[in-house]
Amino acid sequence: MRPSDKIVTAFRDGEVTLRERRRTEGFTNAIHETGYQGIREGDLVVHAMDGFAGAIGVSDSDGKASPVVHTYRSAETSDARFIAYALRTMASGGYVTTLAKGIRERSTSFDAGTLADVLLPAPPLEEQRRIADFLDAETARIDTLSKAYESAKSTITERAQFLIDELIDGIGGSVPLKYFVKFREGPGIMASDFEETGTPLVRVSGLQNGEVTLKGANYLSKEKASVQWSQFRLKLGDYLISGSATMGAVSIVKDPSVVGAIPYTGLIILRPADPIVVMEYIATALRSSLFIRQIDLLKTGAAMQHFGPTHLAQVSLPIPERERQKDIASTAREIWDQSAAATAAIDRQLSLLSERRQSLIFAAVTGQLDVTTAGRSATSGGAA
């Protein structure tokens, strides 16, 4: 390892590259890089803990990695790219997970000793290279198309946000939200209060596509819920906003099974405080950039990334007459419905591409696909 080496990360999609080229958030950096090892371009890299999820590939960079990342040099009779494709096929099929050594779920510890006992397909070196070349080219095409779809999704979402902002900004004038909406954050409940069954405790994961669900819910004693937290019970038509998750996560209670549930701390119940208020309009305004900018300013300098009722009480938003609120809410609903339908269609295409990518790799690595013939077909097909 050299002093100038930067951190190399094995990502779950099989790319092994300098961390700074992809992203740096979400990682814990070591103060002392004890046990870090050098990685060189062309090395086969296997993440011992994330290998089961596909964090296996060939490094495109020189750098260094933590001891949990293992690096190998391929023998003269093998191609590192082919081995990486074969191991990732095993990972996607669940084989790597079966090698778990620890007692924790998915604690695979895919180390050198474990890898040494894995039986891999071993065609002649030239065939390995042909397969790896074919898969490099075909997966690159699929990845390029997937990125184009992801870009289209972003454009659709940005366009919807722009249209919503136009609706809200075009009203003009703002008044304190606290005069029109009541806020109540869910109670702080300890894990020791959780039960196997009982009154549902709604978590942030339950806010799904604008509706409150019981996905990921915990449960509380019915007796304790009725005595200690009855004032937090959800009603049909209530809106919830998350004070810690992505902005715009405003959801309505429509499902009768959610009625009577308790929202967890970090989830804020929104109810009208004035008859003029149309809550669907309020939900639209809370998705606007005008609201997001105010919340960001209120959080500036605070050692927190969430907001609560005290922050909402300082927000001002335009509150037009009731009929106009209804019109804006209806228009916003159409915008979001169209955006959701378009992104859902793209997600289906992305899922198909992912399946195609995986099946292509499996077929090529296991010899079920003649890559020479397939390569000629792909070339002629691309020219059509």
- pLDDT for 383: 40
Burial of 235 (0-12, 13-18, 19+ CB in 10 A): exposed
With a cut of 80, say whether residue 283 has pLDDT above it.
Answer: yes
- Report, as an integer, the average pLDDT of 118-135: 91
- Tell whether 210 is covered by a domain: yes
**Same domain, yes or no: 180 and 304:** yes
CA distance 143 to 149: 10
- Tell whether 3 is covered by a domain: no
**Same domain, yes or no: 186 and 293:** yes
Task: Report pLDDT digits (tens) over 316-354.
Answer: 999 999 999 999 999 999 999 999 999 999 999 999 999
Looking at every residue in the chain, the average pLDDT score rounds to 87
**Same domain, yes or no: 176 and 252:** yes
- Tell whether 329 is covered by a domain: no
- Tell whether 1 is covered by a domain: no
CA distance 25 to 40: 24
- Tell whether 167 is covered by a domain: no
User: What global pTM score does this model have?
Assistant: 0.76
- pLDDT for 304: 59
**Same domain, yes or no: 201 and 289:** yes
**Same domain, yes or no: 142 and 233:** no
Task: Give the residue with greater pLDDT, 2 vs 127.
Answer: 127
Would you place residue 68 in the very low, low, confident or very high pLDDT band (cuts 50, 70, 90)? confident
Would you place residue 285 in the very low, low, confident or very high pLDDT band (cuts 50, 70, 90)? very high
Residue 79 lies in domain: 8-122
**Same domain, yes or no: 25 and 138:** no
> Of all helices (H) and strands (E), which one includes residue 219?
strand 218-220
- The number of domains in the chain is 3
From 289, 319, 349, the end of a domain falls on: 319
**Same domain, yes or no: 151 and 106:** no
**Same domain, yes or no: 141 and 233:** no
Rounded to whole angstroms, what are the CA distances from 232 to 248, 313, 369? 22, 19, 59
**Same domain, yes or no: 199 and 227:** yes
Q: Could you tell me what percent of the chain has a pLDDT over 70?
A: 89
> Of all helices (H) and strands (E), which one includes residue 10?
strand 8-10
- Tell whether 327 is covered by a domain: no
